[in-house]
Chain A
Amino acid sequence: MKLAVQVNEGPYQHQASDSAYHFTKAALEKGHEVFRVFFYHDGVLNGTRLTTPPQDDRNIVNRWVELAEKHDLDLVLCVAAAQRRGIVDDGEAERNGKDATNIAPKFRISGLGQLIEAAIQCDRLVVFGD
């Protein structure tokens, strides 16, 4: 089965990031294809590499990065949501004249078309968050 996952909530605020991560991991372990994980609204905060939780807490951002490295996942942040919340990659820094970037490795910033494409391409779209 080919799956797309959508995450609408920020980490540490709502359980959606955790639920989506565990679901995605379980799907990959069962041998399913996860075509894309799309982060929308506050979900884009899953993609900042500056996150530094206490050492005895889970690192939600790094956990996505590690899963993506292992399974070559496509982690996409919605560009308009990212701009509003200050999630910046090289292209956005250049375009908007910012002095730094903070996007985590394996994440990329792109448009809502990526969500629609994933919904069309995949057998199922599973949404997490409110």
Chain B
Amino acid sequence: MADLYTVNKSPFEKNSLADAIKFSTDGAAILLIEDGVYGATKGTAVESLVTGASGKKFYALKADVKARGIAEDRLIDGVELVDYAGFVDLVEATDKVQAWL
């Protein structure tokens, strides 16, 4: 598997999600944590960042999604929820981890 990118800021605040998608290679895993999870919600002005990205797999940290009151049915299709143990598994499954700031 390619690399894991973590994105911790909302796409309404920073361009880090757009940049992570742009600069990551095919097969990359992009994990949304903290305010980054807002990028995984359906029906927003920036939804197409995720829905239009090909060759990337998106994950969102469940605890952070829950903490922000985002119901699971509001997540973009194909975004997989992981818990912290799943975060650890992603780190192990990928070649390296890049916190995208």
Contact = CB atoms under 8 A, between A and B. Distances in A.
Contact of B33 (A19, A25, A29): A19
A1 interface: yes
Contacts of A128: 8, 99
Contacts of A16: 8, 34
A25 B63 CA distance: 14
Contacts of A124: 91-92, 96-97
Summarize B's interface: helix, strand, loop or mixed: helix
Interface residues of B, number: 20
A125 B84 contact: no
Contact of B84 (A1, A26, A127, A129): A26
Contacts of B1: none
7 cross-chain pairs, A with B, having the tightest CB-CB distances, nearest first: A26-B84, A127-B99, A15-B34, A27-B88, A22-B84, A26-B85, A26-B88
Given A25-B84, A126-B91, 18 more contacts: A1-B91, A15-B8, A15-B34, A19-B33, A22-B63, A22-B84, A23-B88, A27-B88, A27-B91, A30-B89, A124-B92, A124-B96, A126-B6, A127-B99, A129-B99, A130-B8, A130-B9, A130-B101
26 contacts: A1-B91, A1-B92, A15-B8, A15-B34, A15-B35, A16-B34, A19-B33, A23-B84, A23-B88, A26-B83, A26-B85, A27-B91, A30-B85, A30-B88, A30-B89, A32-B92, A124-B91, A125-B97, A126-B6, A126-B91, A126-B99, A128-B8, A128-B99, A129-B99, A130-B8, A130-B9
